[in-house]
Every structure is written in C-alpha cells, then in structure tokens.
Amino acid sequence: MNILAIETSCDDTGVAVVKVGGKKRPRFRILSNFVSSQVEVHKKWGGVYPTLAKREHQKNLPIVFKKALQQAQGERIDLIVVTAGPGLEPCLWVGVNFAKDLAKKLKAPIIPVNHIEAHILINFLNNKCVFPAVCLVVSGGHTQLILMRGIDDYKILGETRDDAAGECFDKTARILGLGYPGGPAIATEAAKFNAPGLKFKVKLPRPMIYQKNYDFSFSGLKTAVLYDFKSRPLKVRKSKEYIQAMAAEIQQAVIDVLIKKTLKAAKDYKVKSIILGGGVAANDELRKQFRVQSSRLKFKFSVPPKVFCTDNAVMTALTGYYHRQEARNKNLESIEAKANLRLK
C-alpha cells in the first residue's frame, strides 16, 4: 500500500509518500520525502511565531505536496495520514484541512495521528524494537518519558513541568547570541570546547536530577544561564572561550538529566530497550552517551537516523500504517486538530 502523509505541527511543512510491503513484518520504502523548513522566517524572533508559521504552511504545503507526488511518480495513494496534534493549533489545522480536501478528492481513507507517537514509531523504519521499552521524546515542544509495552500501548511516566529540552537549547542559545534553532548551534559550539587552561568556571544545575519522579524541568537551567551571562564582563560574554564553555555545560546538563531519568525508568520498569525520538535526539553527544550507558546496563538502544529525528512526514506515514485499521473516509468532519492531544 502507498501512504501519503502530511506534517505541519510546528515550523516544518512535510509531505512524504511511503510504500509499505513485506509479509511477516512491514517493509517501508520512502518514495518521496520533502520538508520545507521555516527557520529563516523565525530566526529573527528566536523561536516559532504561530501566526507566521501558519501563513508559511499555507504557502508551502501545496508546493511540497506537488513535489512529493511528482517524485512518487503517479503511484496510487491508498491512505492519507495527517498529524492532528500535539502542536501549534493554527499550523495543525492547515495540514488537517488540506488532508481532508485531498481525501474527498481522491476518495481515499484518512487517519489523524499523534505527533509524539510518530517521533517514537520512526524507530521502526529499519529496526525491530523490543518491548517493553522506555521511550524518551525530546523536541522543541515536548519532553516526555513513556513506557511502551507495544504499538498503541503507552503510559506517560513523566514529562517536563515547564520548558522542553529543545526549548531550553533554543532559549539559552538566544541568550548567548547564537542562532536559531539553538540545539544545533549549541552542539557546534560545545564541540569546539577545550577545558584545560580555562580562566573561568562554568557550572550549571541539573534540575530535578535526584528527584524520584520521572518529570523534568528546564526553565531553571535557562535562568541560571541568564544569571551567569549577566554576571560576566562584556569582554568575557563575547569571548569564544566563554561561549564554548557555556554551550558545552548547557548541553551536558541537559544530557545528564535526560540520561539519569531515562535509565531510572528503564530499571524501575525492567524494560528491554530504550528508544529515543524528537529533534533533540539528533544531538551527537546525546546519542553517544545514551548508547554507551544503555549498553553498559544491557538495554537495547534505538535512535532514528538524524534526519528523521526532527519533524518530517515519513514518521507520520509510519504511524498511520500502524493505525490503518482506524481509517475512516466517511466521517471526515470528526477529524480535528488538537493542540494538546495526549498519547493514550
């Protein structure tokens, strides 16, 4: 079967066509995959501006859709999948309305899917995952720790009480005068950091790391960065040594908390594997340290290829495939965008 998927939950407009074959277990072949990023538009705000993002989706979605269909070379579309939430509601509606119109035109069934689940299920693109698993979804809008006993069997163990991990990178990068999105900018500066001979010390808190729950909090980390930054003389603030040291410490503080809480959940729930997803999972240092720690404790570890960590429609297509039984083409009106859609 051929699945056409649409993703517009935040600032990336994605359309993909994925062919699913295979007998015992599904084999996914990506016929086309286009993502139009709005980074340039949101750069000057240092974050995503919803009304602007909606306008960009409206402009870009028909273009991206056309490209994706052309590259799929006229293959028949058997199923339409669209991200229904969570995300920025005005943006989600652009995708949902487009998908509904398309379903009417093509007389094809349509499935609305959960974006968090999509960040998890992209791990099934080439791999077989072993259950039970603990999944950590870390993106610009979400930080959730989820117990997964199988597909469609989820329990949210914990989540951020304030900022998401990616949001923390984006906001602290802005304080340091680095670009948007902040995650890749912080990672680049952190990679240049060389500790020996440093004239000053940078030490940031690891919020909630020793608490027994599985929740996170990153807004205190951002405030600590702001205070440290403001306490430095202008010359230091602008020096590359300071920026690099700060970037390395921000990155490590986030990684320390994420790894500690995930491993705790994995041990407490006696799972077999650890699964990562979301834009922040594209971070090299995070991937490396997770891999080392998971193998030390004998957990199977899965992380998507970097390009499928950040928002894309291939993950939406895979999620639709696993929910294909729920397809409904008559009851189009019931399909809605929901900013706060929760995993069930």
**Interface residues with Zn ion (CB under 5 A)?**
139, 311
User: Do 334 and 39 meet the contact criterion of CB atoms below 8 Å apart?
Assistant: no
Give the residue, chosen from 276, 282, 313, 315, that forms a contact with ligand KG4 under the rule CB under 6 A: 282
Q: How far is CA 179 from CA 100, 174, 203, in A?
A: 36, 7, 23
Of 166 and 320, the one with the shorter C-beta distance to ligand KG4 is 166
Q: Which C-beta is closer to ligand KG4: that of 282 or that of 313?
A: 282
Scanning 38-46, 127-135, 181-189, 232-240 for contacts with ligand KG4 by CB under 6 A, the matching segment is 181-189
Interface with ligand KG4, residue 182, by CB under 6 A: yes
Binding residues for ligand KG4, rule CB under 6 A, total 19
Q: Taking CB within 5 to 8 Å according to partner kind, which of Zn ion, ligand KG4, none is near residue 282? A: ligand KG4
Are the CB atoms for 9 and 85 separated by under 8 Å?
yes
Q: In terms of Cα–Cα distance, which of 57, 126, 116, 68 is closest to 90?
A: 57
Among the listed residues 170, 189, 228, 249, the single contact to ligand KG4 using CB under 6 A:
170
Binding flag, residue 15, ligand KG4 (CB under 6 A): no
Contact 15, 61 (CB under 8 A): yes
> Under 8 Å CB-to-CB from 331, ≥6 apart: which residues?
none
Q: Please identify, using beta-carbon distances, which residue of 150 and 177 lies nearer to ligand KG4.
A: 177
Helix axes 182-192, 284-296, angle to 10 degrees: 80
User: What tokens appear for 121 in the block?
Assistant: 């299920």
Q: How far apart, in whole angstroms, are the C-alpha atoms of residue 110 and residue 319?
A: 12
Do 334 and 25 touch, CB atoms closer than 8 A? no
Among 10, 113, 245, 263, binds ligand KG4 (CB under 6 A): 10
Smaller CB separation from ligand KG4, 219 or 329: 219
List residues binding ligand KG4 (CB under 6 A). Answer: 10, 139-141, 166, 169-170, 181-184, 187, 278-280, 282-283, 310-311
